Structure formats: C-alpha cells, structure tokens
Structure 1
Amino acid sequence: MQTTSIVQRWVRGSLLMTVLALVLAEGLFLYFSYHTLYGGVQSAMENRFSTIEGRLQATGTAGDAAVTAESRARTLRRTVEQFDEKDKFEFMLLDASGVILANSSGIRSTDLTGGGDFALALLQGRGNDIYTTTQGERVMAETVLVPYAAGNIAAMRLVTSLRLADEQWWSTVTLAVGLGLLVLLVSVWSGLFFVRSIVRPLGEVETTANRIAHGDLRARLPDTRYDDEIGRLCKTINQMAGDLAETERLKNEFISSVSHELRTPLTSIKGWVETIGNIDDPNNEYCRRGLAVIGTETDRLYTMVEELLDFSRLQNGIKLNCQVLDLVAEATDAALFVEARIRREGLHLEYSEPPEPYPVWADPARLRQVFVNILDNAVKYSSPGGTIFMTLTRTADTFTAAVRDQGRGIAPDDLEKVKQKFFKGKNAVRGSGIGLAVVDEIVTALGGWVEITSALGQGTTVSVVLPVYRPGQEHLHEKI
C-alpha cells in the first residue's frame, strides 16, 4: 500500500475542494458582473430606441400613408441632427441595404459599419453585437428596424465605445482574481498551520511509540497545552508507558523474588542430600530429619510451581468447567482441607456453616483454589496464637465469602496493588506473590469481584463476592 501523509490527504481533499469552490464562486461572480456591466450598456441603448419609437408613433396620426411616412422620415432625420448624446452614442439611420443615410456626428465613417447587428435585426427585428473597429477600439452596436414606414429609412442604429466599460470590467476581474488569490493564500496558510499543528505532535507520538516498542520505557511525550484529542492521546501514551514501565519493574522484581524462593528450598534439599549421602545408617537421626526436610521443601517447590503454572494458564485463557455448586459446601471443604495446617501453625479457625445452600455457577476446582489461596495467605501472615475468621453472607443478588486474619496487615500504599500481576508488598513473606492475582482472575471470570480491606498491625479481610445463580445464566462466564 502506498504511503501517504496527512498533508497529501489535506491537499487532495480539503484544499482541492476549497480551490474548486473558489473557482466556481469566482466564475459565477465574473459571469454576473459581465452581464450586469455590458447588459447595462445594452439596456441604455434600448431605452433610447424606445424614446425615439414613441416619437414616431405620435407623428402623422392623421392624413394619408405617404404623408405619414414622410413625416416620420423627417422626424428621424431631425432626431439625428438634434441628438444630444453625441458624446456617448453615435446615432445612425440605415436603408434596407444597411447603407448609412445619416448619423449624429455628420461624418460618414466606414469604421463604424462593421458588426453583425444589422443582419440580426433583419432576421429578428433587433440585433446587438460587440466588435473591434479598424482602429482597435471595442464598440457595441444595437440596430432596430423602424416599426413604421419612414421613406427609405429602414433601421436605426446606436454605436457606443466600450472603453470605460472594458476598464471597469478589467478592474472587476483584477479585483476578483486578487481577492480569490488572497482567500486561497489565507486558506493554504491557515490549513498548513492547522495540519502542521496535528502532524508535528503526531510525528512525536510516532517517534515515542517506536522507542517504547523497542524497549525504551523511559520515553515520554512532552506535555501539550491543548486538551484536545491529540493532547489526550499524548497523555494516554505517557500513562501507557508508565504502566508498562511499572509492569516491567514488577515483573523483574517478581522474577527475582521467585528465583530467591526457588533457590532456598533447592539449597536446603541439596545440602541434606549431600549430608544423607555421607550417612551409611538409614536409621540415623540426621537421615530421618533430612528426609523430612527434603519432603517439606519438595512440597513447597511443588506448590510454587503449581501457582506459576496456574497463573500462566489464566493469562493465556482457559476454559472453565462450570456447574451449579453450593458455595457453602465448597467453602467448608476448603476449610477442612486447610484446617490441619492451621493447627500446625498454632492458629485457630472460626467458621460457622450456614444452614441453607448458596447456589452459584462456577468451576469446582477453580472455586476450591480460590478458597485455598485466600486461607493460605491468611495462615502465612498470621502470628502464632491468632485466629482466622471465615464467614459466609448473602444478599438478594450476591453471596460473599470473607476471610479475616489478625496478622501484620497490608500497607496503605500496597493495598490497591496487591491484586496486580507480579506485585509483592512491603510486608510480603515467602512465596510466589501471585496468589491474590490468581484469585482475582478466577473470581472475575466467574462474574464476581474481590474486595480487600486491611489495617497495619490489625489484620486483613479478603472478601469474594459471587452472583446468585439463577436458571438461564449457565453460559455467562464460560471462559477467562
């Protein structure tokens, strides 16, 4: 596809339409100006003829036809002799052959015998023509056949110079063309100024976006003083770059944290394997202790790897195998599953099972994972002797499962970020740090949401809110 610029599109589109509209307006203006100017000259001639024809009509209203024709001829000759507008017009009397019988100047000039007005008059009764004399002067001639018999006089003719009219016409043309060029120049200047105000920031946007695409997440667009579409685009790109930089930072911290978490059990396993390798007696106390540590650390590694795999699957999108479930039963099973570990850590679990079922549309394995992750976090962040509270409540449209601990709590600055990918707060303990991110992904896919409240030194409450199941909602949340 051929590459085009905004300037080229503006020239081919807006500017071309402006030029065409300007040319059309100029053409119409000059057309009407021409006909108004030269039509005015022709109208002046026609008015003179109307006056003369009125005199002819009043002449010889009585007597025979010969006397009337003769009277009209004398009236026409007298009109030529007494014509008082000789400075403007040349008044002529013509015979049937177009020969000049008399004229107002008294000079039989052959220079004024050109033009096709007489021939048109013979055909139409009236003829008008503009022509150039042998002396190079443009004139307008109007010929009218005499409507009544007037001896050998067949037609009347008026000739006038168009010098003043031509000068006025060319002044009008010059003014119109000048104004048209001025309008075009202003349009081009304003258009280029406007297009440039768009093209320049877009060029900066393109350059900055390319830098970001090639990994320079510190690239930023300069602040713009305009709060328009381009200004908002620049702010959005800067925000995007900031979010990408923050995500990159969190990802690097996440990789570093997970690497550290993986290294610790691997180091312990390697050390005990070497120790056990030097012991010949399987019943040795160090051998049994080493095997126990290896088993514990292996379980820890397995749990972290499973969390990472789950997080990866959720990011890539997985199919949920949803069905109608009892939220109470799922929460109770999760509590029983984690209760043994809670006791080992010296903690207590407070949980009262509601008597009635809470129907929800969910994937049983994923819902179990949600409860286990939340309870696991509560165990990790609680101090020995503390209590973990698990409560289930309902409204007309939602069910809420809340887990509250009495642990160290979450810093206010971290509270809004704990559900983000790769984020680990300031008070985070060992682990991959993606448990809440996985929980949020699953609950959101099931049509619910996760609420977290916390106070430093007092504990944290994680609430999972799911919609009440009603028939017909089976396919609302099939995929993440």
Structure 2
Amino acid sequence: MKGIRSRLIFYITLMLLLIVLLLEGVFIAAVHYYYLGSAMETLNSRAATSATFFNKYLEGYTLSERARYILENLSPEESSKVEVLSPAGNVIINSFGFSSKEQVNTPDVRAALASGKGSFQSLKPLQGERIIAVSIALKEAGSTIGVLRYSVSAEPLYAVIMRIVLNAAVVGVLVIGFGFVMSLLIAKRIVGPIRQLTGVAKEMATGNFAVRAAKQYDDEVGTLAVTLNYMSEEILKSEKIKYDFISSVTHELRTPLTSIKGWGETLLGGDLSDKQETLQGLEVMTGETDRLIGLVEDLLDFSKFQAGEIRMVRQPYDLRGLLEDLLLQFRYRGQTKQIRLYADLPDQPLPVDGDFNRLKQVFVNLLDNAFKFTPAQGAIRLTAVLSGELIIVTVADNGEGIEAADLAQLGTKFFKGRSRQSGSGLGLAICKEIIELHDGRLRIESEFTKGTSVIVELPLYRLEQHLPPPVYL
C-alpha cells in the first residue's frame, strides 16, 4: 500500500467493516435478547401465576395429588412442557401424562429448591435440543415439597434468530461492497488531482515552467494547484530577470574589456614615444579596469549577502560627518557634469550605530545613481532630518525617473529595469540588504520623466540609553 489510493481504499473499507461488524453485533444481541428474553418472561409469568395459585388453593394436598390436579387443569392451549418434580428432582408427572425416575438436575431446578425460583437457558442442545426453563417451588406450610417446572424448546426461536442474522449478514456484505465501490470513487476524486499535480511538478523539474496545474476542486488540493501555478509564474519571472541580468552583466564586462584590449593593441603596435597617446590609452585602461573592479565587487558583495556571510562591524558615530564628506566628494563631479548638488543637513548630530564603510557604500551608490540618471543642468538634493526615533536621509533628483512597471521590482536581485545606462543592476539590491542589516528601511519614490527619490530610514542611536549605570559610594 505505497499509494494514497490504496491506503484510502483500505482504510475506508476497514472502517466500514468495523462499523458493520459492530452494528451487526449490537443488532444480533438485541434480536437474541428480544426473542429469548420475551420467551423467558412469558414462562416466568405463567410459572409464577400457576405456582401462586396451586400453593394457595391446594394447601393440604400431597405432591402427587397436586400433580394430578395441575395436569387435569392445564389449558388446552398450553404449548410449554409442564413438569412436577419431587425435591430429589424426579418427575412426578408431566404435561404429557408420564412420570419418570429420571432425575432433572438443571440449574433452574437447583435454584428453585434453594431460593424458591430459578430459570435456565441452554446454549448447547440437551437431549437433541436447546431449551428455556423456569422452575418455582411448591410449598406446604413454608417448606418446599416439590418443584413446578415450565420448559419450552428454543430451537424455533434460534431458527428465527438465525434467519434474521443471515439476512443482516447479507445486508452487511452489501453495505461493505457499496462502501468499497464508494471508496474507489472517493480515492479517484482525491488521487486524480494529486496525480495531475505530480505530473505538473515533474514537468517543472525538467525546466518546463510554462505548464499549468488545473484547479479541479475548491479545496486544499485546488489551493495547492493555485500555489504551484503561482510558484511557476514567479520562477519564470525570476528566470527572465536572471537572463536579463546575465545579458546586462555580459554587456558591461564586454565594453571595458573591449576598450582595454583595443588600447592595449594600440599601445603595443603604436609608437610609445608619443607620450600624449600613451597617457590617454593608460587613462582609458585604468578607468575601464576600475569599472570592472566595481562590477566584480558588486557581484561578490551580493553573493555574500545572499549566502548570509556578511558581518556588520557596527559602532556609534555621527552620520552627518559622513554625508558632509560625500558632499565634498561629489561636488566636483557635479561641476564637471553641470549638475547642481544641494544639501539640507541639520545642525545637530545624527548618531547611528552602524558599519561606517557599508553605510558609506550605500550613500555613494545612491548619489552615483542620481548623477548617472540626471541630465546636464539638472539638480540633486541630499537631505537629512530627525523624525522621532528615525534618521531619514533622502537622495532626490529630477532625472529621467522610473516607469511604474519597474518601480515595484526595483531593488530585487537580478533586476536592472529598462534603463539604457550602464550598470549591473545590483547596486540597489546591495544597498537594501545593508540598510536592512542596520534595522532600517530603503524605499523608492519616482515619477517617470520627473525624477526619483530614494529614502533611507535608520534608527536613531541615543547615547543616554547606552550609558553605564551610576555607582553610588
């Protein structure tokens, strides 16, 4: 029973079998009690009535006289076998008019001699048949002088009970058969969708993510089908982003390598005495090498972040000092590209608990992106404010902006967007990871053709909360 279908059929059939057996047992016990109990009650009633009458009105008669009187006054419709027994258990006379020296020593007779009344039901045939018997003592002046015994054959009752049991068994078999057929149908309805999902999963395992699972029922299996389809769509999206990323990175690698190779061949085959040309070639090769190093560092950083191998070296420092240094660093770039760089920083310190180099990497990347996507005569504004327990730093530009379709995925791995500007597309993803490791948040607001704002929220580090407790002498 390795499959769900086999187990379902087995367990449903087993459950039905146990239920049918239980109900059959209860039913048989009830039928047995009804028929045999009713017969026993009837015998008890007749025997008690007769014994009470004979004990009351035949007082002073001998046992033999009482026996003859009882025999003579039996109802013609009496179907039970009536016997009058001596205290020794011998048959004085019975309803057939015979006496016998045969000793009757059944439990009902012993109970009647001991306590005045007894009943007996034989489960095994006695003298070829099973009987039901009730015995009541015949008394004279408080002493037992004999026993009045009523008995009847239980064989007709057992025959009726057996017919009912056989009919019940046939019904039980039909119920179990019907249950087995129903279990086949139920198992098919349950296992069929699961097999279909298994086939879809196998197709996906081979790389065919275009296949879709059909939602047959609005249940857990249907939910699983929807989830599987959603997973397939997300994998397709991720695969597309990955391939776009590989294409972009390949292009980014090819461009500087082509420049380096071209200038290298030019310098090797040219006149090295031309100092100006040589310096120009070396300058281009150095710049393209820096681009390659930056790209490789982005890839290494991102892979470390994804593997969880990056460890932050956090310590308290003033973020305002870092931002002022970056303003000085990018002011010259703004002049060369004819882009105005504005700053709005508070006079008070901006204490944070963070990794200086990693946070510098974040803001360098944000400012670099702002300059990259802002045209000449544009403007970039760097602002920092205190808002409750947060330090909010915003890098805003009035450049080309980001399309709404790209904005939701910007900052995810392998996503570069539709921009034609150079870059690996990993910068924002790395920045987002760094800020989140500082318990902060990075979000982007943009309107296409009007500009972009990147907002960084970092928790404020309060020095008074981290001072050691005072020592009292």
| CA displacement at 1:421 relative to structure 2 | 0.9
Structure 2 CA distance for partners of 1:183 and 1:396, relative to 1, 3 Å: farther
Residues 109-157 of structure 1 show CA distances to partners (whole Å, capped at 9, x for unaligned) of 99998966546655665342435465x5543233333233799972222
Match in the other structure for 2:210: 218
Match in the other structure for 2:224: 233
Give the Cα–Cα distance (whole angstroms) in 1 for the partners of residues 95 and 126 of structure 2.
Answer: 18
Match in the other structure for 2:342: 350
For residue 311 of structure 2, give the secondary structure of its aligned residue in structure 1.
coil
Match in the other structure for 1:434: 426
Give the Cα–Cα distance (whole angstroms) in 2 for the partners of residues 88 and 216 of structure 1.
Answer: 86
Give the Cα–Cα distance (whole angstroms) in 1 for the partners of residues 371 and 311 of structure 2.
Answer: 30
8 Å CA contact 1:382–1:407 kept in 2: the answer is yes
Match in the other structure for 2:267: 276
For residue 146 of structure 1, give the secondary structure of its aligned residue in structure 2.
strand
Letter in 2 for 1:351: A
For residue 61 of structure 2, give the secondary structure of its aligned residue in structure 1.
helix
Letter in 2 for 1:49: A
8 Å CA contact 2:440–2:456 kept in 1: the answer is yes
Give the Cα–Cα distance (whole angstroms) in 2 for the partners of residues 388 and 358 of structure 1.
Answer: 21
Give the Cα–Cα distance (whole angstroms) in 1 for the partners of residues 401 and 456 of structure 2.
Answer: 18
Match in the other structure for 1:154: 146
Give the Cα–Cα distance (whole angstroms) in 2 for the partners of residues 20 and 345 of structure 1.
Answer: 87
Match in the other structure for 2:471: none
Give the Cα–Cα distance (whole angstroms) in 2 for the partners of residues 473 and 108 of structure 1.
Answer: 115
8 Å CA contact 1:443–1:466 kept in 2: the answer is yes
For residue 465 of structure 1, give the secondary structure of its aligned residue in structure 2.
strand
Q: 2:384 aligned to 392, 400, 405, which one?
A: 392
Match in the other structure for 1:56: 54
Match in the other structure for 1:262: 253
Residues 390-444 of structure 1 show CA distances to partners (whole Å, capped at 9, x for unaligned) of 1112321322111111111111111111111111212241111111111111112
| Equivalent residues in 2 for 1:409-420, closer than 5 Å | 409-420=401-412
8 Å CA contact 1:101–1:153 kept in 2: the answer is no
Give the Cα–Cα distance (whole angstroms) in 1 for the partners of residues 437 and 183 of structure 2.
Answer: 50
TM-score, reference length from structure 1: 0.85
Match in the other structure for 2:31: 33
| CA displacement at 1:222 relative to structure 2 | 1.6
Give the Cα–Cα distance (whole angstroms) in 1 for the partners of residues 143 and 220 of structure 2.
Answer: 86
| CA displacement at 1:91 relative to structure 2 | 1.6
Give the Cα–Cα distance (whole angstroms) in 2 for the partners of residues 127 and 323 of structure 1.
Answer: 98
Give the Cα–Cα distance (whole angstroms) in 2 for the partners of residues 168 and 432 of structure 1.
Answer: 92
User: Is 1:325 matched up with 2:327?
Assistant: no
Residues 160-190 of structure 1 show CA distances to partners (whole Å, capped at 9, x for unaligned) of 2334422432244235434544554455455
Give the Cα–Cα distance (whole angstroms) in 2 for the partners of residues 447 and 470 of structure 1.
Answer: 15
Give the Cα–Cα distance (whole angstroms) in 2 for the partners of residues 345 and 256 of structure 1.
Answer: 29
| CA displacement at 1:241 relative to structure 2 | 1.7
| CA displacement at 1:20 relative to structure 2 | 4.0
Give the Cα–Cα distance (whole angstroms) in 1 for the partners of residues 98 and 58 of structure 2.
Answer: 29
Match in the other structure for 1:305: 296
More displaced, 456-465 or 89-98?
Answer: 89-98
More displaced, 174-183 or 242-251?
Answer: 174-183
| CA displacement at 1:458 relative to structure 2 | 0.8
For residue 361 of structure 1, give the secondary structure of its aligned residue in structure 2.
strand
| Equivalent residues in 2 for 1:55-454, closer than 5 Å | 55-59=53-57, 68-70=60-62, 74-84=65-75, 86-106=77-97, 117-118=108-109, 121=112, 125=116, 126-130=118-122, 132=125, 137-148=129-140, 154-185=146-177, 187-226=179-218, 228-317=219-308, 318-454=310-446
Structure 2 CA distance for partners of 1:110 and 1:354, relative to 1, 3 Å: farther
Letter in 1 for 2:92: L
8 Å CA contact 2:9–2:187 kept in 1: the answer is no
Percent identical residues: 33
Give the Cα–Cα distance (whole angstroms) in 2 for the partners of residues 113 and 370 of structure 1.
Answer: 110
Give the Cα–Cα distance (whole angstroms) in 1 for the partners of residues 435 and 87 of structure 2.
Answer: 109
Structure 2 CA distance for partners of 1:112 and 1:204, relative to 1, 3 Å: farther
Give the Cα–Cα distance (whole angstroms) in 1 for the partners of residues 440 and 178 of structure 2.
Answer: 59
Give the Cα–Cα distance (whole angstroms) in 2 for the partners of residues 440 and 468 of structure 1.
Answer: 18
Residues 69-107 of structure 1 show CA distances to partners (whole Å, capped at 9, x for unaligned) of 33x754543232222264531222233454433333446
Structure 2 CA distance for partners of 1:335 and 1:185, relative to 1, 3 Å: farther
Give the Cα–Cα distance (whole angstroms) in 1 for the partners of residues 105 and 383 of structure 2.
Answer: 115
| CA displacement at 1:298 relative to structure 2 | 1.6
Give the Cα–Cα distance (whole angstroms) in 2 for the partners of residues 296 and 75 of structure 1.
Answer: 138
User: What root-mean-square deviation, in Å, do the aligned CA atoms of Structure 1 and Structure 2 show?
Assistant: 3.3
**What 5-or-longer segments of structure 2 have no aligned partner?**
467-473
Residues 13-39 of structure 1 show CA distances to partners (whole Å, capped at 9, x for unaligned) of 676566445534433443343233212
Give the Cα–Cα distance (whole angstroms) in 2 for the partners of residues 444 and 313 of structure 1.
Answer: 15
Give the Cα–Cα distance (whole angstroms) in 1 for the partners of residues 355 and 190 of structure 2.
Answer: 51
For residue 312 of structure 2, give the secondary structure of its aligned residue in structure 1.
coil
Give the Cα–Cα distance (whole angstroms) in 1 for the partners of residues 379 and 92 of structure 2.
Answer: 134
8 Å CA contact 1:326–1:359 kept in 2: the answer is yes
User: Is 1:462 matched up with 2:454?
Assistant: yes
Give the Cα–Cα distance (whole angstroms) in 1 for the partners of residues 143 and 316 of structure 2.
Answer: 120
Q: 1:44 aligned to 42, 45, 53, which one?
A: 42
More displaced, 97-106 or 321-330?
Answer: 97-106
**What 5-or-longer segments of structure 1 have no aligned partner?**
62-67, 475-480
Structure 2 CA distance for partners of 1:150 and 1:348, relative to 1, 3 Å: closer
8 Å CA contact 2:120–2:133 kept in 1: the answer is yes
TM-score, reference length from structure 2: 0.86
